[in-house]
Each structure stands twice: as structure tokens, then as C-alpha cells.
Structure 1
Amino acid sequence: MLRELDAAVLVCDNEGRILLYNPAAQRILAGHEALGLGRSLYDICARAPVEHTLELLQLRRDTDDGKAGSAEFVCATTGHGPLLHCRLSLLPAEDGGFVLGFENAGARIERLVRRDSALRHAVENLRSPLTNLRAAAETLSAGHAMDPVTQDTFLTMLERESQALSERFEGLVKVSQERLSSRWTMADIRSRDLIDSVLRHGLEQLPQLEQTGRPLWLHAESLSLGFLLGHLLQQLKSYGIPYVNVEALLGNRWVYLDIVWEGKPIPADTLSNWLSKPLAYGEGLTGNEVLERHDSEAWSQEHGREGYALLRLPLPASQRQWEHAGPDRLPPRPEFYDFSLSEQRAPLADLASTRLDDLHYVVFDTETTGLRPSEGDRIISLAAIRVVNGRILYNEAFERIVNPERKIPAASTRFHGITDADVNDAPTIGTVLPAFRNFVGDAVLVAHNAAFDMKFLQLQEANTGVRFDNPVLDTLLLSFYLHDHTPEHTLEAIAKRLGVKVEGRHTAAGDATTTAEIFVRLLELLRAHGIETLGQALGAAEEIVDVRRMQSRF
């Protein structure tokens, strides 16, 4: 069903690790190296809006008899990826995790820009005729010679048209102001959930707070609005106000969020100064900018109760305020999830004792200009494929041609088939290696004769700033350990011994895939030999290194 959906869907565990994704998610996030099973969602998109929304839904679940519903938000992706318009829902509490649906917001932004441009154009086109009408009316009113009847008729007509045009102009201005705001980035949120979220992040820095009245539904950008509320509460405490009461009042299309305290109103210039300051967690966003997003403003005034004052924020009301569930509405059909992957990831410090079956792997291979990395040979092709749960994820692959910025010797071209013309327009290693590092994440690296490939990567650390400190397993050493009775440990020999079909030999992608298929079979053999953890596998490989080191002395 998920394969057929046009909507992009990710399923994640409580820590944001990806348990499942559909083809639509791949299309929208095409080329994003961090998309993969077991990878962190926060390597793909910004952490703050996701965690903020999760917190709001959890608060809602805790206070509404386990009913959390869903929430919308807009989220930026890392790198140069698209802006996403997301809807997030929690999975059942007993399972944990959440479902994130999203779409590329770029097309919607383009439509908004085109619409807003047309609206501005229409508004501006009214200025000239309006000015002319008013000028003519002023001229006639100045008393120039004219037949009295004609003058009266003309004046009446001009006044009528001017008034109609003025009203039309003001209506367009109002529509323009309403439509130009980014309302599509907003979502429904209860006032109590919003305040609870603010309190959870700054109890020591905020005045003692009590909420009264029933919660009301807002239609707001909850993340930035939460930043603003926290900022204003901090300023109130710094101003000497130790205790406040917050109440949401319903007005015409607005919810008035009132912060009430005993004392005098905040002076206008002081409040203006607070709103002009960048918010502590808003990436440079000011309070005034948050209010502009909501077509709102803030002011302080006397409260109806003598000796009290308030700070009022008018915020857009949600239509949900007036919606009620019908008596014939059926409960949602129950859904069942069984994602063992969410339990398979161990902390980095415990990797040595982690079972091999519980780890994620990236199997990779390189093609190079030659065999002497310390003498200037460079990578010209880099490919990798992911292994999770003992399965090769063929759709989670990485493959790049690399410009080595030097000539490729003819002898090397005869070996792998890559020519200077193939790499002329390719990115350099400075571009490719960070992308590969992002694809790898904190997976265990696997390669055949890994020391060779790792040397090429390590020699680029100083130039690229990219460091690979992941554990590394070598299929060559593991084969030596498991099959010490044979001297044949080339990639072809191991593949033949294990029944693996070799395709695309001497291409990075082909050799990486072959190595992955070999590695999956080696994992089964390691278990049969009592090698069950990463530490044991690394120890077995080290034994072979020691043996080879001893043999080299004779």
C-alpha cells in the first residue's frame, strides 16, 4: 500500500531512526545520502521542528485520554534539499515511534509567489485611477466656471465613484495583507499545549505560571510562536513580575492570549524593545517578525480587574474551534506494527559487544588511478551499498565518478575502463567524500582488502576535513580466518567458494555489490564458528593480521 501512495511516508522509532520509507519519499529526497533504514531522520531534516511537534502530540496524548491526533509543520532539509511540508502522527504508545508524511513545499511556494505577485499588481493598478478621480474632484470643488446643474451632476458622480473605488482599494489591500502571510506553514494547536511546551523548556527562567479557562484552538506556527512566548515570559520575569496567569479568550476569528499579572502595564517603548530583540532559539528571528507571520501585534493594557495588567497577543483561531465529531463517526481501524529494527541499535560505546546481526553495514569499493596511494594515486570511482538485518538493500546505494585532477594511466584504464573523458566533468573528491561520509553515517564499514581502500580515504582527511573513524571489517581477513585451508582469497575465489555470482568486476559498484553478497554469507559462517559480536570479529581479523605480519618476516 505504501509503495502505491503518492504521498511520501517515513516511519521512525522514538529516537528518530528510520524503520520504513516508501518510493515517494525516495523521489522527494532523491540523492540525499542520509536516507536509509536505521539512519537518523535528523541527518535529513532539521531536528527542532520535529521534536517540538512530537512534544506537542505527546502532551496532547497525555491530557486527552491517549488521543494525540496529528500536527503539521514546515521543515528544512539538510544540505541543499527541498523545504518539506510535513504531517506527523504518533504510533501507538505500546509500540513507540511516529509516522511522518511530507511533500515538497517548493511548488506551493512558487504558486504563492505567483499569486501574491498578481495581487500586488492588481492593487498597484488601482492607485493611478484613484489619484486621477480625486484630483478631478478637487479641481471641480475649486469653483471653476461650469453650468450649475452639470457641475452638481459631475460632482455627485465623481464623489460616488471615488468612494466606490476607495472602498475597493481598501478591500484589496486587506486581502493582500491576509494572503501574503505564510498561513500554509501554520497548523492547528491548542493554547494549553503551546503553553505547556514553553514551560517544559524553561521552568527556572520563567515566572510562576497558572493557566485558567478552557483551552482554545489556534491556527499558528507553533515553533516560532513558542519561541516568542518563552521570550516574553522571560522578559516579564526580568522586569520583576514573579507570577502570571495565562488565559485564552475567543474573539471574532481570533484567540486572544492574555498574560495577566498584578501590577501596572508594560510601557509601549519597553514592549517594543522586547519585540525587536532576536529570540534565544529562533535563529535570529525577532518577536516582531513572529507577530507579522500571524498578522498580529502585541500590546499591554490595564486588566478589567483592578490593580492588574495584561499583555495581549491576538492569534488566528482554528476552524476546529467550531467543529464537533458526529455521533455516527466510527473509531479508526486498528493498525499493527512489528518493527524489530527499532530495538537493534546499540550505543557507540557498546559496539564491541554488539551482536553482528544487530549492526548496520556499508560495504564499499574504490577504483583508482593506480595502486600507490602514498605516491599520488587518487580515487576515480567510489561506490557502496547498505546491509541491514543481514539483507542487502539494493535500493540504498551510493555511486560517484570522481575527477582525480590528474591523468589516468592507460594501464589503469585497461583495468577498470574509466578514461580521462569520463572524469573531466565529474566532481572532485572534496565534493564526493563529504557526501559519502553522510551516506555512511555511523555504520560499520566493510571492504575487500579494506586497508587499500581506507588508505585512499585517510590520505584525503587533511584536504577534505572528512574523517572515517567507523569500525572496519575486511572480507579478505575474515575469509583467511574461516578458510585457512586454502590460499585462494581473491574476490573471485571467495565468491566461487560461497556461491556468489560475480558481475561488474573491476567497477566500484559491481565489486561493492559482490563484496556485500560475500559478506552476508560470511556472517553466517562466523556465527557457526562462535564469532557473534563485532569485537570478536575484529579480534579474528587481528589474529590474521598478526599471522601475516609474522609470515612477512621469513
Structure 2
Amino acid sequence: MAERPRLPDPRRWSLRLRVFLFFALLAAAAAGALAAGGALAWRRLPEAARDAAALSALAAGGVAALSLMWAALAWTWLRFDEHVARPLQELASALRRRAHAPVATPVDPEAARWLGELAPAAAELTEALGRLRGDVSEEVARRTRELDARREQLELVLANLPEAVLICTLDHRVMLYNRRALALLPDVEEVGLGRSLARMVRIEPIEHALAALRARPEADGAPVLCETARGGALLQGRAALARGPDGAPRGYILTLRDVTAQMAAELARERLLGEALEGVRRAAANVEALSEAVAGARDEGARARLTAELRAQAATLAERLRALSRESREAMSAHWPVAPVAVADLFEALRRRIQDRPAPERPEIEIAAAEGVVSCDALAIVRVLELALRRLALRGVGRVRLGARPGRAWLRLEVRWSGPPLTDSDLAELLAEPIDLGAGALTGAEALDRLRTQMWPAREGGEWALRLPLPVAAPTGTARDALDRPEFYDFDLMARAAPAPQDDTPLRRLDCVVFDTETTGLNPARDEIVQIAGVRIVNGRLLRGETFERLARPSRPIPAAATRIHGIDDAMVADAPPVEEVALRFHDWVEDAALVAHNAPFDIAFLRAVEPRIGRRFDNPAIDTVLISTILDPHSALHTLDALAERFDVRIPPERRHTALGDAMATAEIYLRAIPLLEKAGVRTLGDLRAASQRIADIRRAQAAYAPKNAERTNP
């Protein structure tokens, strides 16, 4: 026997529905009362008066009276719905948002002005709640300020470590990484919290090291030598287990450095040494044989020929030795340790060195210009410049001026002075002096030679100058810049339970990629993507530093109407990779995370359109913030991104609106702020959200009221 459908629980009916049913009941009661009154009036008429004309008149009067009553009830219901029921429902939603989400804007009393003192009282309540939250936040901030300072110190230390540091779970999910890891691994987009290390490096050597550490609990670490996942670099480091209070392994710490160049240099040196020794051995053997032949030759002509051959072989031997010396110097200079250093720091270090010298060797230093960053061995450069300044002071120069002249690839350091000159021979003499670099003494000339630069004197504008060019360093940012990507650790990942079926995953713990696309138009069958952007949510945290943003070159021109909305034209995508390549990279970046978008069917339809061309499927769970808004505010007719941003107090900078990354960031903030409200409504897991979204989607389809995204996109 088929189960009878159950009626919705009346306790879950909305206020507006209850009011409508109340007025409908009044209308039915009015109709019943008029019918009863008409019947009673008919019965009281004398028998002689009960004819067709009387019945018609009585019915006409009843219909007219009923129409007037129903019109009055309808007008009263509409006014009540507009001025009382709907404002009450919107006020309840606004209060609920402010109670469960970090919405700071006060309730607008004007929106519920017909509710008398209720709206101002609600506004005062939300203001008091805001003040209370502010007081609590201030107290929490005061008590945790010291902890935050220590955490920032840890972040700065990690950011400036010369080696890449990663802390991972035992199933190779990244819990922490530092800035060096971003520079070391070939594709920054592959590095992220909660992502698998196996996507970044060959994991087998690391698993072997971890197995060895488990077998030997007393070991404090194991060496690791592995390649990047795409085989572009060779990495060397150590792995160590991170144990919990009970001594059981909870994860592991991995330090890595790039030894690709070092290994190549070692191989090159071995090859160079082998070839050089073989060449020297042959030349020496020839010299030895010819020497014996010359000694035994009795004929003067033969002796002369052998002597000439001996000289040629000796010259060959000398040339091979010179080549060995030259190639050795080039190999040393190619791998001499250099690092980016600010010119201002170089000059300041030089000033401190000179201040420590005795008075006869201590000229006064003026720094005229110190802009720029160079790539060099700072210690060697400071020592060489110190030699020059000491020599100038001993020659009677009391004041020197330091400066830097920037160029495209090289920056020229200058030491300028008035007084006695420093000739080429003087410079050669001072550069022949040894300088202590900590790892053994070199002359100044040898240090400059290994840095592939030189220093020379010049006369300009009545002054003498020493000029020293150094290569400009590629921009790498500062230690503080590392904090621009602050979410580089999350130790909660270590305690996260084993993966459950996604439908059972709480929304607070669901790993998501919130994304948006910009397109050439609105039809996925004809139009194409011109930009994809996304941002990660891991463990309920918006990782602003882990983003994907790529332009894509479509196979058709971008219409002017589309450009007016998102600002992307044909010139901007002329050098961009094709749509297929960008979609493939986005698929790799997303992995198995849930996809969140505002009006997700629109964006996912464009991703699905490219699936046959890339051989991949975007079958990730999809979450639509339009449906979330409908679940939370079913009475509202506005579910655009701008309306949700206003509702959840999310600010979208005007210049970022209708950009893929700007809209994705705003959608991510709205989604996170909606989660507590969804939980309050009983929607706690992905499965709950799917079921609720499906019910809303079915209703909207049935009402033919679910408009595609073009309504919003064509009305920015």
C-alpha cells in the first residue's frame, strides 16, 4: 500500500502564509455568513413573495455584498502583508543574520516603519549586540596580543628560512609551508593547505624515509632525495616524524632545498677534471716521449724537428692547463653563493666596518643614493670596498660619497671623492691584498672575478670615482611580504577525522573552491570562458593567499557588450593560453573540493561545455549561493550577489565587481557567513544542503521563476 504523502508541519509555515490563510478563512467565513443570511431571509419571506424575481434580487444583493467584503478583505490583507507581515519576516531574518553571522550594520528602522516601536527597539538591540561583540573582541584581542606577536615572529622566521619547510599529515596533506616552499616548487598554485604533497613532489622517497623512521623510533630524521612531480628539479633534505603527546606519529616535518644546480655543477666539475687530466696526461706523455727522443737523437735535423714538436706539445700542455684554470674559475663563479641585498644595507655595513678602523684609515662617509637591490656576495663586496676606502684614507682623502646608478640589468656602485687619484696600478695593487671571507682568504681581484664583475677608476666632473657594477636582483619581496599570504598553516588538519562520504561532511569542515567565470556571452553552447578565478576554503577558513586567476583566449572575438560588463577585451587575452589549457589547470587545482559559485548552474555549464575537449569531468559537488539565499530568505525576491553582499555586510570594492576573483572572494565571504544560519535552520552537512537546495530548485522550476544568471549580468 502506497504511503500517504505527509502535509508540511504547520509550525514551519511562514508568517506571511499564516496571515494569508487567516484572511482566506475570514473570506470563507464571510461567504458562509452571507449564504446563511440569504437562506434565512428567503425562509422569512411570505410564500406569495417567493418568486424568481425575489430570488434573483436576493442573490444579486448577496453577491454584491460578498464582493465588497472580499475586496475589503483583500485590500486589508495586502496592506497587512506589505506593512506588517513582510517587514516582520524581513526583520526576523535580519536579526537572525546578526545573531549568527558577523554582520555589523544596524537594522534599518525605516524598512519596518509601520511596526511602531518594534523596529527602533530591534535596531537598539542589534547596536547593543554589536557593542557587546566589540567589547568581547577587544578583550580577546587584549588577552591574545602576546600570542599573536609570538605567532608573527614564528611566521617571519619561517618566511626567512633558507630551506623550504613543510609539515604534513601522515597521508601527505600539507599543514604548513613557508615562503621558500613557494619559491622552490615549480608551480605556486600547486602549494596549499590541505593539498596533497604527492602533487608537488615524487612521494616514494619520502614514504621510504618515513618507513625507516617508524622502524627506528630513536632516529631524529632521515635524508630525502626526490624530484618535483614534473621532474623539473632535484630536491634534497630531511624528514622527521611529528609525534603527539602519546608518542604516536601524527605527521611529519620536511625540509627541502634545490640541489639541481649543485648536482649539475658537481657533474660538470667531474667531467672537466676528467677531461683535463686526460688531456694533461696525453700532453705530458708526449712531452716525456719527445724529451727522450731529443736526448737520443744524433742527427741535428732530427733533433731540430723533435725539439719543435716538443715545444708544440709543451705549448699544448700549457694551453690545457690555462683552459683548466679558466673553466675552473667559471665553474666557481657560476656557483658562488649570491643573494639579493639592498644597496642601502651594503652601504650601512660598509659604514660600520669603516667606523671600526683606526683614525688614519677611517674617511667620513656620505651616502648620496642607495636605491635598488643587487644580487651578490654582500660580504665580499663590503670587504673589497673597505680595502678601497682604507687606501683612500691613507692617501689623505677625508671624505667619500657613496652612490648607486640604476640600470636595466646592472646597478653601478660608485665611490666618489675629491683629492689624489687612484690609478689603475694603485687599484691592481690594493685588489691583490687578501680579504677574509670566512671560508678562506681570497684576494679582492679573485673575489670580483668569481662574482663576474670588476672595479675601475674614472674621472668625472672634477671628481674621482671608483665604479663597481653588480647585477640587479630579481624582485623577490621582503620578509614582511611573506605575510601577504598569511594562511600558510593549519594544524587542525592533523586532528581532522578520516575522510567521510562527502554528503556526511559538515559544511564547516568541507573543503571548497569558490569560483567565478567571465565569458563572451550567456550561451554555453556558443560562448566561451575568458577568465576563471577561484579561492580556497579549508577547514572553514578563507585562504586569501591561495587563489587561481587566469585569463583564457577564446576561439571567437569578445563582444563589446560582454567587455562593458567585465572589462576584458581581445587585446587582454591575445597572449593568454587557450580555454582548454586554463580549464585543465583549473581542474588540477580544484582536485576533489566542492565547487561554490553564485548561480552555480551558469558557471558550471561553461565548465561542462569544455569537458569533451580536455578529457576531464567537473563532477565535483556544486553549491549555489542563490539557493542558499532562498533557503534562508524565502520571502525575499532579491538574490543577486549585490543583494546578498548587502544582506551579509560584505563589501565588494567597485573596481573588483564583475571581475572573476573579486566576485569569487565576495561569494566566499557570503558563503562562510551563511553557514551558521544554515546550521540554525537544520542544514549542517553537504547532504542536508543538497536536499534543501533540490527542494528549492524544484519549486523554482515549477514556478518558472528561476531566471538564469543573465538577469544579473546584464544589469550590473
Q: TM-score by structure 2 length? A: 0.48
Structure 1 segment 332-411 matched on structure 2, within 5 A: 339-344=491-496, 346-347=498-499, 350-374=501-525, 376-411=526-561
What's the counterpart of residue 83 of structure 1? 234
The answer on whether the counterparts of 1:363 and 1:447 sit within 8 Å (CA) in structure 2 is yes
What's the counterpart of residue 112 of structure 2? none
Aligned residue identity for 2:174: I
Residue among 400, 416, 425 paired with 2:575: 425
1:197-249 Cα shifts (integer Å, max 9, x gaps): xxxxxxxxxxxxxxxxxxxxxxxxxxxxxxxxxxxxxxxxxxxxxxxxxxxxx
1:358-377 Cα shifts (integer Å, max 9, x gaps): 22111011000111111x20
Aligned residue identity for 1:389: N
Are 2:200 and 1:44 equivalent residues in the alignment? yes
In 2, the alpha carbon distance for the partners of 1:501 and 1:30 equals 34
The structural deviation recorded for 1:143 is: 6.9
Are 2:601 and 1:444 equivalent residues in the alignment? no
In 2, the alpha carbon distance for the partners of 1:400 and 1:443 equals 19
Aligned residue identity for 1:535: G
1:472-497 Cα shifts (integer Å, max 9, x gaps): 11111111111112111000000100
What's the counterpart of residue 24 of structure 1? 180
In 2, the alpha carbon distance for the partners of 1:343 and 1:444 equals 21
The structural deviation recorded for 1:132 is: 1.6
What's the counterpart of residue 69 of structure 1? 220
Aligned residue identity for 1:6: P
The structural deviation recorded for 1:418 is: 0.5
The structural deviation recorded for 1:133 is: 2.3
The structural deviation recorded for 1:542 is: 0.8
Change over 3 Å in CA distance of 1:346–1:455 after alignment to 2: farther
Structure 1 segment 431-510 matched on structure 2, within 5 A: 431-503=581-653, 504-510=656-662
Are 2:688 and 1:542 equivalent residues in the alignment? no
Structure 1 segment 194-209 matched on structure 2, within 5 A: none
In 1, the alpha carbon distance for the partners of 2:497 and 2:180 equals 26
The answer on whether the counterparts of 1:29 and 1:81 sit within 8 Å (CA) in structure 2 is no
The answer on whether the counterparts of 1:34 and 1:441 sit within 8 Å (CA) in structure 2 is no
In 2, the alpha carbon distance for the partners of 1:533 and 1:346 equals 16
Aligned residue identity for 2:544: Y
In 1, the alpha carbon distance for the partners of 2:623 and 2:533 equals 17
Aligned residue identity for 2:200: I
1:517-545 Cα shifts (integer Å, max 9, x gaps): 11110112111112111100111111111
Aligned residue identity for 1:51: E
The answer on whether the counterparts of 1:12 and 1:20 sit within 8 Å (CA) in structure 2 is yes
Change over 3 Å in CA distance of 1:553–1:15 after alignment to 2: closer
The structural deviation recorded for 1:48 is: 1.1
In 1, the alpha carbon distance for the partners of 2:172 and 2:634 equals 43
Aligned residue identity for 2:572: D
Aligned residue identity for 1:393: L
The structural deviation recorded for 1:117 is: 4.7
1:285-328 Cα shifts (integer Å, max 9, x gaps): xxxxxxxxxxxxxxxxxxxxxxxxxxxxxxxxxxxxxxxxxxxx
What's the counterpart of residue 458 of structure 2? none
In 2, the alpha carbon distance for the partners of 1:345 and 1:392 equals 20
Could you tell me which runs of 5 or more consecutive residues in structure 1 were left unpaired when the two chains were aligned. Answer: 62-66, 177-336
In 1, the alpha carbon distance for the partners of 2:622 and 2:496 equals 19
The structural deviation recorded for 1:426 is: 0.4
Are 2:678 and 1:526 equivalent residues in the alignment? yes
The structural deviation recorded for 1:400 is: 0.3
The answer on whether the counterparts of 2:241 and 2:249 sit within 8 Å (CA) in structure 1 is no
In 2, the alpha carbon distance for the partners of 1:72 and 1:405 equals 49
Aligned residue identity for 1:551: Q
Change over 3 Å in CA distance of 1:123–1:27 after alignment to 2: same
Structure 2 SS opposite 1:399: strand
The answer on whether the counterparts of 1:345 and 1:358 sit within 8 Å (CA) in structure 2 is no
Change over 3 Å in CA distance of 1:80–1:422 after alignment to 2: farther
Aligned residue identity for 2:559: P
The structural deviation recorded for 1:85 is: 1.7
1:407-454 Cα shifts (integer Å, max 9, x gaps): 000111111110101001000122212211121111111111111111
Residue among 515, 524, 528 paired with 2:667: 515
The answer on whether the counterparts of 2:186 and 2:228 sit within 8 Å (CA) in structure 1 is no
Structure 1 SS opposite 2:158: coil
In 1, the alpha carbon distance for the partners of 2:687 and 2:587 equals 23
In 1, the alpha carbon distance for the partners of 2:705 and 2:646 equals 31
The answer on whether the counterparts of 1:88 and 1:99 sit within 8 Å (CA) in structure 2 is yes
1:249-297 Cα shifts (integer Å, max 9, x gaps): xxxxxxxxxxxxxxxxxxxxxxxxxxxxxxxxxxxxxxxxxxxxxxxxx
Residue among 89, 104, 125 paired with 2:258: 104
Structure 2 SS opposite 1:383: strand
What's the counterpart of residue 169 of structure 2? 13
In 2, the alpha carbon distance for the partners of 1:362 and 1:141 equals 85
The answer on whether the counterparts of 2:193 and 2:490 sit within 8 Å (CA) in structure 1 is no
The answer on whether the counterparts of 1:373 and 1:456 sit within 8 Å (CA) in structure 2 is yes
Instruction: State, as a whole percentage, how many aligned pairs show the same letter.
Output: 43
Aligned residue identity for 1:491: L
In 2, the alpha carbon distance for the partners of 1:19 and 1:428 equals 33
The structural deviation recorded for 1:81 is: 4.5
The answer on whether the counterparts of 1:32 and 1:44 sit within 8 Å (CA) in structure 2 is no
The structural deviation recorded for 1:122 is: 2.4
What's the counterpart of residue 289 of structure 2? 135
Change over 3 Å in CA distance of 1:514–1:30 after alignment to 2: farther
Structure 1 SS opposite 2:235: strand
The answer on whether the counterparts of 1:433 and 1:466 sit within 8 Å (CA) in structure 2 is no
Structure 2 SS opposite 1:96: strand
The structural deviation recorded for 1:144 is: 4.4
The structural deviation recorded for 1:79 is: 3.1
The answer on whether the counterparts of 1:380 and 1:423 sit within 8 Å (CA) in structure 2 is yes
Change over 3 Å in CA distance of 1:463–1:338 after alignment to 2: closer
1:99-135 Cα shifts (integer Å, max 9, x gaps): 0111122332343354335424422430442232243
Structure 2 SS opposite 1:373: coil
In 1, the alpha carbon distance for the partners of 2:552 and 2:528 equals 9
1:168-205 Cα shifts (integer Å, max 9, x gaps): x9xx9xxx9xxxxxxxxxxxxxxxxxxxxxxxxxxxxx
The structural deviation recorded for 1:27 is: 1.9
The structural deviation recorded for 1:142 is: 6.7
Change over 3 Å in CA distance of 1:40–1:447 after alignment to 2: same
Aligned residue identity for 1:546: D
In 1, the alpha carbon distance for the partners of 2:673 and 2:222 equals 44
Task: Report the structure number with the largest CA radius of gyration.
Answer: 2
1:6-37 Cα shifts (integer Å, max 9, x gaps): 32111011111111111111122253433111
Matched pairs, number? 369
What's the counterpart of residue 196 of structure 1? none
In 1, the alpha carbon distance for the partners of 2:180 and 2:208 equals 25
The structural deviation recorded for 1:394 is: 0.6
What's the counterpart of residue 56 of structure 1? 212
Could you tell me which runs of 5 or more consecutive residues in structure 2 were left unpaired when the two chains were aligned. Answer: 1-156, 329-488, 707-716
Deviates more, 1:415-424 or 1:16-25: 16-25
The answer on whether the counterparts of 1:379 and 1:429 sit within 8 Å (CA) in structure 2 is yes
Change over 3 Å in CA distance of 1:345–1:458 after alignment to 2: farther
In 2, the alpha carbon distance for the partners of 1:401 and 1:426 equals 6
